Structure 1
Amino acid sequence: MHTDTTAALQEELLRRARAAARTPNSPTTSGPCADGPAPLSRAQRRLWLTEQLGPGGGAQYNVPFATRLRGPLDMDALGTALTDLVRRHEILRTRYDRRDGEPYQEPLPAPAPVAVRLVDADGDGRELLDAEAGRPFDLAAGTVPRALVLRHGPQDHTVLLTFHHISVDGPSLDTVAEELAGLYSAARDGIPYREPQPPQYADFARRECAQTDGLAEGLDHRARRLSGAAPLRLPRSADADSRRAATHTTPLDDHVLPALRALGTQHRATLFTVTLAAAFAALHRLTGETDLVIGCAGTHREGRAMRGLVGLCVNTLPVRVDLSGDPAFAVLVERVREALLDAQRHRDVPFDLILERLGAGARDTDGTALVRVTSDVLREPTALRLPGLRAEAVEVGLADAKFDLSFGVVDTGRPEALVRHRRSVLGGTAGQELGRSFAALLDAVAADPGIRLSRLPGRLAQQDGDVHPAEALLRAHPEVAEAVVPYPAVQPLLAYAVLRRTDGPSPARLRAGLRARLAPESVPAAVVLLDAMPRTPRGTVDAARLPGAPAAAVTEPFAAVPGPDADAFTPQGTADAAPLPGTAAAPPPNGPRAAAVTEAFTAVLGHAPGPDDDFFALGGQSLTAVQLAEQLRAALGLPLNGLDILQARTPRAVAALLETRATEQAAARSSVRPRRTRAAGTVLVTGGTGGVGSFVLRELAARGRPVLALARPESAHLVAGDGVDVVEGDLSDLAGLRAAVASADAVIHAACTFTRPEVDVAAMEAMTGAWCRGPFVFVSSVDAYGHPAEAQVAEGAASGEPLSPYGRAKLDCERLLLGAAGSDGRGGASAVRSPLVWGPHARLRDQLRWGATGILYQAAANGRPIVLPGPGTHGHDWYGAPWVHAAALARAVTACLDDPVHGVANAVSGHVAWPELAAQLVELLGSNSRVLFGEEVHPDLDHHWRYRADRLADALRPRPGEDLRSVLASMTGAAEA
């Protein structure tokens, strides 16, 4: 054997795969980028699809790049350098959209200048950095990087640049840092920056797209290598729906990494390969599985033409290893090395093409793809090293995890073992145990590479129970108060649950969580939400009285509680469930919507499916799921998204889902009167079905004002009535918003998503653009003040960092509104900032029980001690909250129609100290809770500001029954007792 040649080839392949391009290189000149839109690269396409499949794209793919700089920082030079950087690299000013179902990227004009926000910060400013890094991007609007500078002192700053991963990868940050240093120096000294123009990422994407046909041989090989591999079933924690990340690091002794490197040298492997082998071993100990797949990152950066390129040039490489036979760890390193080399030889084959070739077998029942676990070696992070300044990289973490589980080794001056996981995979204790056991495993194999896998540390105990596994998982869910799965008494298998709060998870979301964690035969056909479990005289659950139970004739269906991501759900209305016994069955497969589903499947996938054919087995993948949902949504006028397709999967299930949603829509529309001719002086009200909006509608009715209420179809009957016309839509329907605003003579915008601030801002932008006459009142929030420096806050006072994403969105919406007011025939604008809103309404009752004050309510309701911050804690003489009665807020808002404030006004009925609120709740709930005082301040209670409310004082003056005790009594139920 030519050992030296083979080893050199292997080492070179691994070196290329792990290359991070950390040595600066001057970029070479490339030809001009072709005009017009370009296709997305394969890596970009995967990220883009995460926002198209359904809600929740969020900020998990943000890339924060932070550096602490000490010395004289020239802010003007920094702003000029960042502007020039964005001008040089089109990918940093690119928007992403879709044409004829296919995504494309298109550069925007170079901005002049890129804004750099300067904020004074106490301490390290960690909250400010985390909040900024967690703000989502809108890919359709562009991905210009955001710049935040924290000023800790005259010559002490932290610079945070936030990019979207669709625009950059790790090596891109090295190029960004290098060029910014040169551009900063040139701007500071007033000299031109003479480096040649860099290559443009759109050219790379076009080349990759053109070379797809040449990947056939590699694709065939990788598909054969991964054939039969299935997504790993990991343990699951009680936090069943959380993508939030938990990270556990454990220090390693100084001898561990040198020993692992020496082990790699003996087996012609790098430290990365040995670490990957350790990850396989740890995963085997965790799950007991021997056929495992772990993903690692490959790179497309090869040759001089790629030097200086900013963009996403990575590919996920699935590495499959056989761990059977209880091998020694050194033998496992050999197996991992061969598997990794095989993946590296075909690293140009895109991961999504492999998934498409493998079909349904490479996805779990919830559509999750093959790679759930990753591994890496982390080295010193890149820092922005500007001339004349001392630089120190600052780690800024993101709240969401990209993968279920990741193993890593931190290879710096302070070596560590790292485990990062979604909280839905492991609870806090289990995650910490896995982190410690991974560090112990690394130490063990460093000391004895011949140790067999069965002797390694780590094996988390599996939970056993005497109840059905679906029932155990539902009981463990933090938002489920009670659950039961009668087994095997009910067929098909059904699950029943009672939620802890009315805005908890929907039945579809609960069932999707079960599908992700259980074998298919253990997944209930439906999760039915109940107000309460039926009981026998002895207090046990009466299975015969459960909806759908064969021994009981169900005369009145139990009301289900809609979640925030659901339409109205009834027992037969879960998203992808079979019809329940004892309820009306779904139409047969040859119904009109079933025919439309079959037609859409055929049009999108290219061949006619059977009613129970699996979407993935038919060749479907993420983009076709989006296209299929859009076609059906347009054809049938029913809500549907790509995530629905991935979860339902078969034509029969999709048709059943659509029938359910059609029934709900028809029931709502039957209660709505035909639209009348619009009356003069009509006021458009958004959010009329919410707690605030409902009081606004009552106040307008009392004043005799004609109303146009914006409502979703399933909720329209809740607001329709005399003097109230209904237009169907929501904040995400920008065209419908514009039309509604343009038809009205005044606007009261009282709706808020509460979950996606970017939706609020986009909606306000659309509404102010269509606003052409009359006054406009926006129900904002005191969160827009952030953390003011003074405890007494005047109306319209400057905001203080940090602002929450919700508060910042409110502030952005106010700016859009006030900037448009008084021009082109528009009337006056009023931004009415409200605090906690209380009143006799279901949504508002839930805010008392589960919102910022929920910690007090729940403690009192359950008789637990109530621990409050004492006066003077952290230097504040008062802790409490401002509040407003919903009726008073409605009067204030409607008063602004006739007398706009032309700016910001506060709507505050009063301020309640936490001890006063706690005492009221204890009395009204008949609780025996004790009120204690301590030096710690719970985040939900860390509020010490009082807000003036002078401009709307007349409208806010309390009326009988609007005092604090009365409204609390009505919300706790004490008023009816």
Structure 2
Amino acid sequence: MTQMLPMPGVQSLSETKQRLLAKYLRAETAPRSASSDGITSRPRGESVPLSLSQEQLFLRETGIPDIPPLYNECVTLRMAGPLNITILERSLHEIIRRHEPWRTSYDVQKGQPVQIIHPAPAEFFLPVLDLRGLASTRQEKEIGGLIGELVQRPFDVKQAPLLRVQLVRLSDFEQRLYLIAHLSVVDGVSVYQIFPEELAALYYAYLSGQPSALTNLPVTFGDYAYWQRQTVEGEAVERQLAYWRKQLRGELPVLDWPNDCARPARQTFRGKIQSLTLPSTLADEVKRLSKREGVTLFMTLLASFVTLLHGYTGQKDIIVGTPSPGGRKRSEVQKLLGYFLTPVPLRFDLTANPTFCELLRQAQRLTVEAISNDGIPVEVLSERLNVKPDLSRTPLFSVAISLQPPMPQLGLDWSVTSMDIGSGGSPWEFYMAFIDQPGAMMARVQYNPDIFEAATINRMWRDFERLLGRVTTNASSRLSDLESSRAESAKASAGEPQQNATETLQNA
């Protein structure tokens, strides 16, 4: 068993609670919120508000003219083996019936954005693109064209559903199910755990001539959003604000990276995506380091990224963002599809020139503290703390990192990836999302091409690989000893080819 190492607020926990905390940090479960009031069905006839996090997505995307589609998510479910399309259609239909967000639109009533929850459709039709018989290169070209158009087409948030589905048949035993969803109706737990698990269970049942064995959901996403609005103020919120006032006191750092281009005076929100893969031996070493040091894989990736940024900039005060699944702390919502994320700022203090092991402890502490204080959207937090707005940057941080939740065992040869095709937009100027699957650790790097050049992203990835190689062999090194990555990067960019990792540039 991997134990949580001592840190403020954790060393006094029992062994059982430490295991639960470790599972939450791997997105396998979540601690209950401080509120003792359970979520119940909302009153009939009342307007259904957006959740706090949903509202921020809605306000940004509807409040900025001519903005690219920031929140169109592309999810791919690769399905190996024979497939009964009629049974798959029926299974998808049942999931849409069970989960309100996948049949919801938004509107403004009395000056407030609200959810409009539509009845479940009487039937569901799954469009199918049959590419059997085509060469693989032609298949990928056809997929890129069709799915690219679906991803890059903006959603009208006043029209349900905020979801597009497309099945692609590559052979009799190879299919891909593409979900193009507005981020306000999904999160990592939704697409990597709940959706594939429910789809597999329903598919098995219907294929066997049995009814659905899924239990009824105790509450709906609308019930959660209504409950959240009733509990949003009070002692718990003030306690969280007090934490953030302390954590974000003084002058906030502005990351001095990259320096490729003159920064636009206003955010353009344009985005491209690169898909990359860590060498399997290096990925295994990173996991072994995490286990050896008693931290999660995410914390090791986070600390490594902060080390890289420190090497690039020399800055000793760095803020990196990460999406925290704060809305899933209630047991009632564990099985709901929907958007439960709250991005949080993690502020690192590197003034003491820590060793990498010491930085891991700091990453561990900051992550746990942020999870405990993630009830306030970053935009609201910025306003409440009177942070001076900068029209050229997002509030509090401009770069972010995440690790997607692990998939459950399904009994089928199915696998999920996300961010496979870009929408043309990006809410942050740099976002690196890792996907850890058996046999491969992948990353999706989403970046703003008005700020980053593609060569900078390629160089960053090579530097990141080199840095991971160093820290896995000598985690006791101080950051100053790891800064040689900057010099090596300059040498590498002058003498190495630009592509030395498995990577695909996808223009959006």
Please give the TM-score of this superposition, normalised by the length of structure 1: 0.43
Number of the residue aligned with 1:180: 199
Bigger-Rg structure (1/2): 1
CA contact (8 A) 1:403 1:421 kept: yes
Q: How many residues align?
A: 452
Q: Supply the distance in 1 between the matched residues of 2:489 and 2:53 (Cα, whole angstroms).
A: 36
Q: Who is 2:248 aligned against?
A: 226
Deviation at 1:139?
0.9
Give 1:47 shift: 1.0
Q: Give the stretch that moved more between structures: 224-233 or 291-300.
A: 224-233
1:283 partner letter: L
Q: Distance in 2 between matches of 1:346 and 1:251?
A: 32
The partner residue of 1:97 within 92, 107, 118 is 107
SS in 1 for 2:480: helix
| Local SS of the residue matching 1:82 | helix
Give 1:503's aligned residue.
Answer: none
Residues 168 and 176 of structure 2 are in contact (CA less than 8 Å); yes or no, is this contact kept in structure 1? yes
In 2, are the aligned partners of 1:286 and 1:460 still within 8 Å (CA)? no
- Relative to structure 1, the CA distance from residue 71 to residue 433 in structure 2 (aligned partners, 3 Å threshold; closer, same or farther) is closer
2:118 maps to 1:74: no
The DSSP-based 3-state class of the residue aligned with 2:184 is: coil
* Equivalent position SS for 1:301: helix
Residue 188 of structure 2 contacts residue 405 of structure 2 at CA under 8 Å; is this kept in 1? no
Give 2:27's aligned residue.
19
Aligned to 1:509: none
Query: What is the Cα deviation at residue 242 of structure 1?
Result: 6.8
Q: Write the letter of the residue equivalent to 2:24.
A: R
Q: 1:403 aligns with which of 397, 416, 428?
A: 428
Alpha-carbon deviation of 1:435? 0.9
Residue in structure 2 matched with residue 274 of structure 1 by the alignment: 300
- Quote the residue 1:391 is aligned against: 414
User: Corresponding residue for 1:291?
Assistant: 317
Task: Check the 8 A contact 2:282/2:468 in 1, yes or no.
Answer: no
TM-score (norm 2): 0.79
CA distance in 1 between partners of 2:476 and 2:452 (Å): 30
Aligned ranges 1:74-153 → 2 under 5 Å = 74-121=84-131, 122=134, 123=136, 124-125=139-140, 126-127=143-144, 128-153=146-171
What one-letter code is carried by the residue in structure 1 that aligns with 2:242? Answer: D
Question: Equivalent residue for 2:497?
Answer: none
Q: Matches of residues 803-822 of structure 1 in structure 2 within 5 Å? A: none
Q: Is residue 34 from structure 1 mapped to residue 61 from structure 2 by the alignment?
A: no
Q: Provide closer, same or farther for how the CA distance between residues 269 and 406 of structure 1 changes in structure 2, counting only shifts above 3 A.
A: same
Q: Secondary structure of 1:212's partner?
A: coil
Q: Residue 196 of structure 1 aligns to which amino acid in structure 2?
A: T
**What is the CA-CA distance between 1:65 and the residue it aligns to?**
2.7
Partner in structure 1 of residue 222 of structure 2: 202
| Mapped partners of 1:253, 1:160: distance in 2 | 26
Q: Deviations over 1:728-748 (max 9, x none)?
A: xxxxxxxxxxxxxxxxxxxxx
- 1:217 pairs with 234, 239, 243, which one? 239
Q: Return the offset for 1:226.
A: 1.0
Q: Is the partner of 1:67 in helix, strand or coil?
A: strand
Identical counterparts, % of pairs: 25
Give the 3 Å change call, closer, same or farther, for CA 382–52 of structure 1 in structure 2: farther
Q: CA deviation at 1:275?
A: 1.7
CA contact (8 A) 2:70 2:269 kept: no
- Residues 138/242 of structure 1: CA separation in 2 closer, same or farther (3 Å cut): closer
Distance 1:257 1:364, change over 3 A: farther
- Structure 1 letter corresponding to 2:158: A
Letter in 2 for 1:197: N
* Partner deviation per Cα, 1:44-102 (whole Å, 9 max, x = no partner): 01111122221344433223332233444222222222222212211111111112322
Look up the equivalent residue of 2:392 and give its one-letter code. Answer: D
Q: How far does residue 144 in structure 1 lie from its aligned partner after superposition?
A: 4.6
Q: 2-side partners of 1:394 and 1:250: how far apart?
A: 13
Give the letter for the 2:64 counterpart: G
Report if aligned partners of 1:277, 1:336 keep a CA contact under 8 Å in 2.
yes
Contact 1:434 1:458 in 2 (8 A): no
The equivalent residue for 1:164 is: 182
Partner SS, residue 175 of structure 2: strand
Decide whether aligned partners of structure 1 residues 66 and 236 sit closer, same or farther in structure 2, where only a CA change above 3 A counts: same
After TM superposition, give the deviation of residue 183 of structure 1 in Å: 3.1
Match of 2:394 in 1: 368
In 2, Cα distance between equivalents of 1:460 and 1:54: 41
Whole-angstrom CA distance in 2 between matches of 1:437 and 1:250: 14
Secondary structure (helix, strand or coil) at the match of 1:47 reads: helix
Q: Which residue of 2 aligns with 1:839?
A: none
Residue 55 (structure 1) aligned with residue 81 (structure 2): no
CA contact (8 A) 2:165 2:178 kept: yes
Deviation at residue 319 of structure 1 after TM alignment: 0.7
Q: Distance in 1 between matches of 2:80 and 2:364?
A: 44
| Secondary structure at the counterpart of residue 105 of structure 2 | strand
Residue type at the aligned position of 1:216: E
Q: AA paired with 2:27?
A: A
Query: How much has 1:33 moved relative to structure 2?
Result: 4.5
Q: Is the 8 A contact 1:293 1:318 kept in 2?
A: yes
CA deviation profile, 1:124-158 (whole Å, cap 9, x unmatched): 44313333333322111123532211222345432
Q: Aligned with 1:111: secondary structure?
A: coil
Aligned to 1:726: none
| Letter of the structure 2 residue corresponding to residue 19 of structure 1 | A
Offset, 1:352:
3.0
Secondary structure of the residue aligned to 2:57 is helix
- Measured after TM superposition, the shift of residue 186 of structure 1 is 4.4
For residues 234-288 of structure 1, what are the alpha-carbon distances to aligned partners after superposition, in whole Å with 9 as ceiling and x for unaligned? 324349657222426353462564456446644x432222221111111112222
For each residue in 1:632-651, what CA deviation from the matched residue of structure 2 results, as whole angstroms up to 9, or x when unmatched? xxxxxxxxxxxxxxxxxxxx
Deviation of the 1:16 alpha carbon? 2.0
Counterpart-to-counterpart distance in 1, 2:122 and 2:341:
30
| 1:301 and 2:311 matched | no
Letter of the 1:309 counterpart: L
- CA 1:422/1:58 → structure 2, altered by over 3 Å: closer, same or farther? closer
Change (3 A) 1:145 1:186: farther
- SS of the residue corresponding to residue 149 of structure 2 reads helix
Task: Measure the CA separation in 2 of the matches of 1:430 and 1:264.
Answer: 31
2:349 counterpart residue number? 322
SS in structure 1 of the partner of residue 428 of structure 2: coil
Tell me the distance in 2 between the aligned counterparts of 1:154 and 1:429.
39
Contact 1:417 1:439 in 2 (8 A): no
Q: 1:390 to 1:224 in 2, by over 3 A?
A: closer
1:254 aligns with 2:281: yes
Could you say which residue in structure 1 is the equivalent of 2:368? 341
Q: State the AA in 2 paired with 1:315.
A: T
RMSD of aligned C-alpha atoms? 3.3
Task: Give the drift of 1:437.
Answer: 0.6
Counterpart CA distance in 2 for 1:236 and 1:40 is 38
Structure 1's unaligned 5+ residue stretches are 23-28, 464-977
**Number of the residue aligned with 2:468:** 442
Change (3 A) 1:200 1:398: same
The amino acid that maps onto 2:43 is A
Q: Does the 8 Å contact 2:40/2:223 carry over to 1?
A: no
Q: Is 1:423 the equivalent of 2:453?
A: no
In 2, distance between residues paired with 1:172 and 1:59? 20
Alignment of 1:663-702 (within 5 A): none
Q: Mark the CA change 1:414 to 1:368 in structure 2 (over 3 Å): closer, same or farther.
A: closer
Note the alpha carbon deviations across 1:463-499, whole angstroms, 9 max, x for none.
9xxxxxxxxxxxxxxxxxxxxxxxxxxxxxxxxxxxx
Instruction: Indicate the residue corresponding to 2:379 in structure 1.
Output: 352
Separation in 2, partners of 1:453, 1:171: 34
1:732-881 paired onto structure 2 within 5 Å: none
Q: Which residue of 1 aligns with 2:258?
A: 235
